[in-house]
A = this chain, B = another copy of it.
């Protein structure tokens, strides 16, 4: 890694949690690499060579079974992935592909485990990160099992709207196809869901979304902090 890259990377919370004197060891064998869209970064079943951290761009996490595939998450800058696999030194449970051209920091998993063993502060940061990740998947499981696709879509719109300033209009951050994956439905179903949402005064034009009646959309979504709030 080049010197100016250290600054960028030092701001990543996980790395910052390691004691000053351990950081060089963490970054010695690390790569900060640029990948074009569609590249498959990791594949489920492989042994964990690197902890991956998204510095720029978007990454989709997914999993295959028979001839099916499902999205288990979409990550943006600042998010790490496959941390659990690295800590336990067990095979990846999911694959990852680049959605939009991305820069990924890859830290050798031995380095992570080595610092984990000698740096208590780092270990505690990992614990918190994992606890957050655990709650994230659990919320997703609840989202899937307790809500219909219409409710999930509505809840997603309400939350994304809030995250982008509550202006009641925004652009989708990725293709509708990817959003459908995130919501756990087929693209055709999402398309029809948007039609249904017209009765709740949601207007869709390409990637542009207008929420003209937030109250009624919110009522439909029944937002629940224990499912929707990423900080809860």
A interface, how many residues as a size bin?
A: 35 or more
A146-170 residues at the B interface, CB under 8 angstroms: 146-147
A121-175 residues at the B interface, CB under 8 angstroms: 123-124, 126-128, 130-135, 137-142, 144-147
A87 and B133 CA atoms in complex are apart in Å by: 12
**Copies of the polypeptide in the assembly:** 2
- Of the A-B pairs whose beta carbons lie under 8 Å apart in the complex, a sample of 5, sorted by A's number, is A70-B146, A72-B142, A88-B131, A133-B134, A141-B141
Q: Is the interface of A mostly helix, strand, loop or mixed?
A: helix
A84 and B137 CA atoms in complex are apart in Å by: 12
Tell me, yes or no, whether A188 is within 8 Å of chain B by CB.
no
Instruction: Among B91, B94, B117, B144, point to the contact of A232 (Cβ < 8 A).
Output: B91
Tell me, yes or no, whether A14 is within 8 Å of chain B by CB.
no
The residues of B that contact A85 with a CB separation of less than 8 Å are 135
The residues of B that contact A144 with a CB separation of less than 8 Å are 141, 144-145
7 interchain residue pairs of minimum CB distance: A120-B120, A65-B146, A84-B131, A70-B145, A130-B130, A127-B127, A84-B134
Tell me, yes or no, whether A5 is within 8 Å of chain B by CB.
no
A72-93 residues at the B interface, CB under 8 angstroms: 72, 83-85, 87-88, 90-91, 93
The residues of B that contact A227 with a CB separation of less than 8 Å are 65
**Interface contact B127-A93, CB-CB below 8 Å:** no
**Interface contact B70-A142, CB-CB below 8 Å:** yes
A135 and B138 CA atoms in complex are apart in Å by: 11
Tell me, yes or no, whether A192 is within 8 Å of chain B by CB.
no
